[in-house]
Structure 1
């Protein structure tokens, strides 16, 4: 555990205690750059896919990415928004820990980071190292190696980002989450580039329900994975699609 992040790891967040660690953690790991090498990533994804026989590789890659993002995004974003702590996240700096099935377990950082000083003036400055330094490299590579649309992978990341903001708003009502919401509600970055995390989730009215339904804007193609049902927030029409087939 990184001591500066200890205040985060209480109650339901305690299981993140050993997800972001330093290089002296004894658990085996490999550099993220090596993980994303074609032969290495193919071996990892093949190992991960054993639990999902007869599945489309694109669906398996999407499910793997969800495990990756749910490990990375919550503690990183909470550290920045709640503790105002900046972490070193660039792809060339990190090592990734995997279990025997190729499931992401956590990340070894080169140093514990530091307090934001001065405080970022806008969302894209605050999250630049996460988005441009880490996610873009990961997503571009995984998309290329698996022929999965980058939109699916960005949507997977954005889904967990949006979910986390709701969790933080409930757990820490006094927290200033504006940069998080600004990030997800800006269609473009500060210099006019498209924001790939723009509005990953929408809330829609459903006949007969008093509360709005949380729905992803882009399907995670989980339906291509054998043995898995569709997500509760799936945007696809209610129809059956066999795994491994276009739909």
Structure 2
């Protein structure tokens, strides 16, 4: 665990204590670039997919990415928004620790990072390294490998990002999470490119129900994995 992040890992967040670690963690890590090569991804998805034979490789890749994002995004985004702590996230400098089922278990960071000084002016500055040097190369590599639309993978990441903002708002009503919402509600990035995390989730009122239903805008295609059905917030269900 990174000591500076200890205040985050309480109550329901305790299980993240060992997810962001430093090079002295005794668990074996593999450079992310190695995993994202053709042979590396083939090996990981084959090992992971052994629990779901036979399955569409695109569905397996999407499902595996969801495990990756739910490990990475909550502690990284919470550290930035709640503790104003900047973590080194460049994909070329990280190692991934896999469990016995080839699922992401933890990330070895090169150093503990540091506080934001000064505080980022906007969401684009705050989350630039996460988007451009971590998520984008990760998503591009997987999308190319299994011939899957990057929109599916960005939607997986955005789904957990949006979910986390709700968790933080409920747990810490006075926390400033405006930059998180700013990022998800911006159609374009600061350089004019389309924002791939734009509004990944919508809230609808089916059949006049009082409580809105949380629904993804893009299906994660997990139904292509043998034995799995649509998610509870799938737009196709």
TM-score (norm 2): 0.99
* Structure 1 SS opposite 2:107: strand
Instruction: State the match for 1:34 in structure 2.
Output: 34
Q: How does 1:148-227 map to 2 (within 5 A)?
A: 148-227=148-227
Instruction: State the match for 1:25 in structure 2.
Output: 25
Q: How does 1:51-200 map to 2 (within 5 A)?
A: 51-200=51-200
* Structure 1 SS opposite 2:93: coil
* Structure 2 SS opposite 1:121: coil
Instruction: State the match for 1:242 in structure 2.
Output: none
Instruction: State the match for 1:49 in structure 2.
Output: 49
Distance between the aligned counterparts of 2:99 and 2:84, measured in 1?
31
* Structure 2 SS opposite 1:131: helix
Distance between the aligned counterparts of 1:97 and 1:35, measured in 2?
11
Cα displacement (A) at 1:54: 1.6
| Residue-by-residue CA offset, 1:185-217 (whole Å, 9 max, x unaligned) | 000001211000000000011115210000000
How many residue pairs match? The answer is 237
Query: Structure 1 runs of 4+ off > 4 angstroms?
Result: none
Distance between the aligned counterparts of 1:222 and 1:36, measured in 2?
21
* Structure 2 SS opposite 1:207: helix
Cα displacement (A) at 1:37: 1.0
Instruction: State the match for 1:235 in structure 2.
Output: 235
Cα displacement (A) at 1:228: 1.0
* Structure 2 SS opposite 1:148: coil
TM-score (norm 1): 0.95
Cα displacement (A) at 1:83: 0.2
Distance between the aligned counterparts of 1:31 and 1:189, measured in 2?
29
For structure 1, which runs of at least 5 residues remain unmatched after alignment? 239-247
Distance between the aligned counterparts of 2:117 and 2:59, measured in 1?
41
Distance between the aligned counterparts of 1:188 and 1:160, measured in 2?
20
Distance between the aligned counterparts of 1:9 and 1:137, measured in 2?
28
Distance between the aligned counterparts of 2:54 and 2:34, measured in 1?
27
* Structure 2 SS opposite 1:92: helix
| Residue-by-residue CA offset, 1:150-189 (whole Å, 9 max, x unaligned) | 0000000000000000000000111000000000000000
| Residue-by-residue CA offset, 1:101-146 (whole Å, 9 max, x unaligned) | 1100010000000000010001010001100010000000000001
Instruction: State the match for 1:10 in structure 2.
Output: 10
Distance between the aligned counterparts of 2:127 and 2:208, measured in 1?
39
